[in-house]
């Protein structure tokens, strides 16, 4: 017969629980069964993610997460601050909660650099094309979501995205090696300058596709076509099964293909392809490309319908801090695909729902009992300390997965003909360089509407893959 616990034992249990010496209860904190529950869960997740950010505190730098690790300042490189700003722009758009809008605007504008193209002097010397591209895509997102415009005397969202595009499309960033394509790094002195990778080229492709749709300027669409054709032609997009590989080196004329597969590469190509599909009124070959990329995403990155980072997730601690944020971008980008390429809804939305349910199930850690880890498919919380990070990437990913469940209630990305308010500047970025070939004239509708450590682990075995740090 069981006996009741004495008062002394009860007191000891309370003390141990308060001290963290007893395991926390593994009850699921977040509910996402209804839109109201999703909003409430997203609100708490957004609050907890902001705890990792110091840029709105006195003496700190707006726009960035603590870092970079190369200077022993924190776990995060410069680009991830831009990705976090984009996550909060989507959060506001999907939930209507404007609690963080002022922080986002401050951070986005602080990091533009003197020429308003996301090449700030503190980071130009170690700049990757992908780093700059993430900030540019967040600016583009602000224009598409009608995020509140900056003050009149500040750089505007659309113009910032155009500034990034113009600097990346400039001939100085392209050469004849590998028959074209962007290098990973911008300064020739950077380690990794000899590497041409998918993410750098996918960012330019994605910006071109979105700017084409927003402004109706064909020049942007031609660049998107050019970028796709190059990645496909060099084999970064596998013609047989649409696996998306990481990159290759110029010394080998990009024939030493590194077949590491990262989820954000495939998702970014899918996202950009959907914008091209929409821009071309559903024309081929974009529909077929979307279908093949979705098939590849489900096969490689959503086993059992749950987001999974293929090259590293099976081994706790094997993923870098960068990789720990990829699932969130995948959820955000795929949800938008369902809006601008509606035939994909039945293919994508059930997958995003299953994945989000798994994500919140494991958010049972920390003193709050709601901290999120990275290993969604395992169903239990794994402390981010296992991966030697503070957990911002993990928190960002779950926030994105949850808030993206509201995509059917949100307006699709606008254009300068469908209510966009962000002012553009076709010559943005020209103060950093001379700019690409002149764009076709944009009508007044555009104004009214519209030194990094690199570790290469190349090999032929199944477990061999390369991680190119995205840089600070």
Domain range for residue 155?
Answer: 37-448
Asked if the structure places residue 9 within a domain, the reply is: no
Asked if the structure places residue 19 within a domain, the reply is: no
The average confidence (pLDDT) of the chain is 88
Average pLDDT of the residues in 196-214: 98
Asked if the structure places residue 32 within a domain, the reply is: no
Asked if the structure places residue 4 within a domain, the reply is: no
Asked if the structure places residue 2 within a domain, the reply is: no
Asked if the structure places residue 14 within a domain, the reply is: no
pLDDT tier, 433 (very low <50, low <70, confident <90, very high otherwise): low
* Position with higher pLDDT, 160 vs 19: 160
Asked if the structure places residue 93 within a domain, the reply is: yes
pTM passes above 0.85: yes
pLDDT of residue 26: 63
pLDDT tier, 430 (very low <50, low <70, confident <90, very high otherwise): confident
Give the chain as a 3 state SS string: CCCCCCHHHHHHHHHHHHHCCCCCCCCCCCCCCCHHHHHHHHHHHHHHHHCCCCCCCCCCCCCCCCCCHHHCCCCCCHHHHHHHHHHHHHHHHHHCCCCCHHHHHHHHHHCCCCCCCCCCHHHHCCCEHHHHHHHHHHHHHHHHCCCCCCCCCCCCHHHHHHHHHHHHHCHHHECCHHHCCECCECCCCCCCCCEEEHHHHHHHHHHHHHHHHHHCCHHHHHHHHHHHHHHHHCCCECCCCCCECCEEEHHHCCCCCECCCCHHHHHHHHHHHHHHHHHCCCCCCHHHHHHHHHHHHHHHHCHHHCCCCCCCCCCCCCCCCCHHHHHHHHHHHHHHHHHHCHHHHHHHHHHHHHHHHHHHHCCCECCCCCECCCCHHHCCCCCHHHHCCCCHHHHHHHHHHHHHHHHHHCCCCCCCCCCCCCCCCCCCCCCCCCCCCCCCCCCHHHHHCCCCCCECCCCCCCCCCCECCCCC
Average pLDDT of the residues in 429-450: 46
Average pLDDT of the residues in 227-238: 98
State what percent of residues in the chain have pLDDT above 90.
Answer: 83
Average pLDDT of the residues in 256-283: 98
**What's the number of domains the chain is made of?**
1
Summarised one tens digit per residue, pLDDT across range 114-127 is 999 999 998 887 89
Summarised one tens digit per residue, pLDDT across range 285-295 is 999 999 999 99
Summarised one tens digit per residue, pLDDT across range 56-109 is 999 999 999 999 998 999 999 999 999 999 999 999 999 999 999 999 999 999
CATH of the domain at 362: 1.50.10.20
């Amino acid at each position: 017969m069981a006996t009741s616990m004495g008062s002394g034992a009860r007191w000891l249990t309370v003390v141990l629980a308060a001290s963290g010496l007893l395991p926390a209860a593994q009850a699921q904190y977040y509910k996402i069964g209804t839109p109201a529950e999703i909003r409430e869960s997203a609100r708490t997740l957004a609050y907890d993610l902001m705890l990792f950010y110091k840029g709105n505190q006195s003496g700190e730098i707006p726009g960035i997460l603590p870092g970079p690790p190369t200077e022993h300042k924190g776990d995060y490189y410069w680009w991830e601050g831009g990705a976090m700003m984009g996550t909060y722009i989507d959060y506001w758009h999907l939930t209507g909660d404007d609690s963080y809008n002022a922080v986002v605007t401050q951070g986005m504008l602080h990091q533009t650099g003197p020429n308003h193209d996301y090449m700030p002097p503190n980071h130009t010397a170690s700049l990757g094309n992908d780093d700059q591209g993430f900030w540019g895509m967040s600016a583009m997102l602000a224009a598409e979501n009608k995020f509140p415009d900056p003050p009149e005397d500040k750089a505007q969202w659309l113009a910032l995205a155009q500034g990034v595009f113009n600097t990346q499309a400039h001939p100085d960033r392209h050469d004849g090696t590998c028959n074209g394509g962007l290098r990973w790094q911008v300064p020739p002195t950077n380690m990794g300058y000899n590497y041409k990778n998918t993410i750098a080229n996918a960012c330019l492709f994605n910006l071109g596709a979105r700017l084409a749709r927003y402004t109706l300027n064909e020049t942007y669409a031609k660049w998107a076509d050019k970028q796709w054709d190059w990645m496909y032609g060099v084999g970064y997009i596998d013609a047989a099964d649409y696996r998306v590989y990481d990159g290759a080196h110029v010394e080998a004329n990009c024939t030493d293909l590194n077949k590491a597969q990262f989820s954000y590469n495939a998702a970014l190509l899918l996202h950009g392809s959907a914008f091209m599909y929409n821009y071309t009124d559903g024309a081929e070959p974009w529909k077929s490309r979307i279908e093949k990329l979705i098939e590849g995403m489900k096969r490689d990155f959503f086993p059992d319908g749950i987001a999974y980072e293929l090259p590293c997730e099976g081994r706790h601690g094997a993923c870098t801090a960068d990789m720990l944020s990829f699932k969130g971008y995948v959820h955000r980008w795929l949800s938008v695909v369902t809006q601008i390429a509606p035939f994909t809804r039945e293919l994508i939305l059930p997958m995003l729902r299953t994945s989000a349910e798994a994500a919140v199930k494991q958010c049972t850690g920390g003193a709050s009992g709601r901290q999120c880890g990275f290993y969604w498919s395992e169903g239990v919380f794994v402390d981010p300390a296992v991966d030697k990070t503070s957990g911002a990437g993990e928190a960002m990913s779950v926030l994105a997965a949850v808030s993206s469940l509201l995509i059917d209630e949100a307006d699709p990305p606008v254009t300068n003909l469908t209510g966009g308010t962000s002012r553009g500047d076709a010559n943005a970025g020209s103060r950093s360089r001379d700019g690409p070939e002149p764009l076709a004239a944009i009508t007044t509708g555009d104004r009214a509407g519209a030194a990094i450590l690199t570790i290469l682990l190349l090999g032929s075995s199944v477990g061999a893959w390369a991680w190119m740090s995205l840089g600070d």
